[in-house]
Amino acid sequence: MVIATSDQTLEILHLEDSQADHQLAALTLRRSGLLCHLQQVDTLEEFQRLTTTDSFDLILADYRLPGFTALDAWSYVAKKPQHPPFILLSGAIGEAAAVDAMRLGVADYLLKDDIRRLPHVIGRALEVHEARRAREQAVAQLAASQRRLAELAAHLQTSIEQERASIAREIHDDIGGALTAVRFDVAWIGRHSTDPAMQNHAASASDMLQHAIGASQRIMMNLRPPILEQGLVAAVQWLASGFERRTGVPTRVQSSSDTISTPPAVQLVAYRTAQEALTNISKHAQSSQVNIELSDRENVLTLEIADNGRGIAPEMLDKPKAFGLKGLQERARTVDGWLDISSRPGKGTSVILSVPLLSASPPAQGDAQ
């Protein structure tokens, strides 16, 4: 839709069965200096044909016409995604009917007795329509930008996990294997040496190598925990026991079943959510109890990590650099899930991950066998 300027002409479709009223509307607009081309139509079929094949900047419509009303015309136009503003120009419409039409989406209405205001009503309708179109375009662009950011976040998360898995394999296959082999060689030197000083150095070197092997195993477990191969419940229990061992905070895990079947992507998101939540608790919560609940009831995976610590102030959740929690929310979106964080200062914090699970159809008898 184009707003008329000094060198632009508005294309207006006039739904009117009175030639005199059509001429009066055209004369009123011409006297106002508004550049426009007014095309008259008086049947619903012709109106539908023209609005389908041609492009108009505005529609003027009488309310009552032979065999139909302007609302019949409006209901047809309103289905089009980029329809022009629709103005009622009638001498036979009550205020209640006009209000109902406005509720349905008609831009404005004007009585023919007050037709001198027609240029003003048209100008206002065009401005409102243009503002609405610009707002819709901005909303669409914002939604597209958010979608691209979400896709980028998902891609980055996937790339990070792939890189972690690759580094974990290298640590296990190369660094871990090399350190173990060197430790065996150092131990052999210590056993076959008769020099006490040499034996002491070999023992010290063996201890350092054992420490390095343990560190590489911890790094590998953090990067890509093999415990995930045993299932989500086992992985969360392993996280909880390690957290309790490191911090001394009692940590209880409850699950709706001993095993919860989830796709690998969902399993990894749930594991990372529990891992990040426990890390935040150890750093900030100052809690004395942590409860973790896992459930797959009603075909929705639910993971809740709750503590009784000092809680999170509302303004902390909106900090620009609160990337940990924002990262968890983006992770949840990558598997069509969502993350809820509820907290009150002094009352603890609860982090809840919810992910819909696709229902699996039961296998056929031959497949089961």
The number of beta carbons lying within 10 Å of the beta carbon of residue 193 is 14
Q: Which residue has the higher pLDDT, 281 or 225?
A: 281
CATH superfamily ID and name for 10-139:
Response regulator (3.40.50.2300)
Q: Which pLDDT tens digit goes with each residue over 217-244?
A: 778 777 777 778 888 999 999 999 999 9
The C-alpha atoms of residue 164 and residue 301 are separated, in whole angstroms, by 25
Q: Which pLDDT tens digit goes with each residue over 147-183?
A: 888 777 767 777 777 787 778 777 877 887 888 889 8
Q: Which residue has the higher pLDDT, 277 or 331?
A: 277
Q: What is the pLDDT at residue 151?
A: 77
Q: Which two tokens stand for residue 141?
A: 């662009």
pLDDT at residue 4 greater than cutoff 50: no
Q: What is the pLDDT at residue 252?
A: 95
Lowest mean pLDDT among 148-157, 201-210, 291-300: 148-157
Indicate the fold that domain 226-367 takes in CATH. Heat Shock Protein 90 (3.30.565)
Lowest mean pLDDT among 14-23, 91-100, 251-260: 91-100
**What is the pLDDT confidence band of residue 362, given thresholds at 50, 70 and 90?**
very low
**What is the pLDDT confidence band of residue 364, given thresholds at 50, 70 and 90?**
very low
The C-alpha atoms of residue 167 and residue 54 are separated, in whole angstroms, by 62
The C-alpha atoms of residue 280 and residue 224 are separated, in whole angstroms, by 20
Q: Where are the alpha helices (DSSP H) in the chain?
A: 19-31, 44-53, 70-77, 95-104, 118-170, 177-192, 196-223, 232-247, 264-280, 314-317, 323-334, 365-368
**What is the pLDDT confidence band of residue 274, given thresholds at 50, 70 and 90?**
very high
**What is the pLDDT confidence band of residue 321, given thresholds at 50, 70 and 90?**
low
Question: With pLDDT > 90 as the criterion, what percentage of the chain qualifies?
Answer: 39
Q: What are phi and psi of 151, to 5 degrees?
A: -65, -40
Q: What is the pLDDT at residue 317?
A: 64
pLDDT at residue 267 greater than cutoff 80: yes
Q: What is the pLDDT at residue 87?
A: 92
Q: What is the pLDDT at residue 368?
A: 38
pLDDT at residue 293 greater than cutoff 80: yes
Q: What is the mean pLDDT of residues 193-206?
A: 88
Q: What is the pLDDT at residue 61?
A: 92
- Domain parsing of the chain, residue ranges: 10-139, 153-223, 226-367
Q: What is the pLDDT at residue 367?
A: 40
Q: What are phi and psi of 352, to 5 degrees?
A: -125, 120
pLDDT at residue 22 greater than cutoff 70: yes
Q: What is the pLDDT at residue 359?
A: 55
pLDDT at residue 350 greater than cutoff 90: yes
* 3-class secondary structure, 5: coil
Q: What is the mean pLDDT of residues 246-254?
A: 94
Q: What is the mean pLDDT of residues 42-52?
A: 93
Q: What is the pLDDT at residue 366?
A: 42
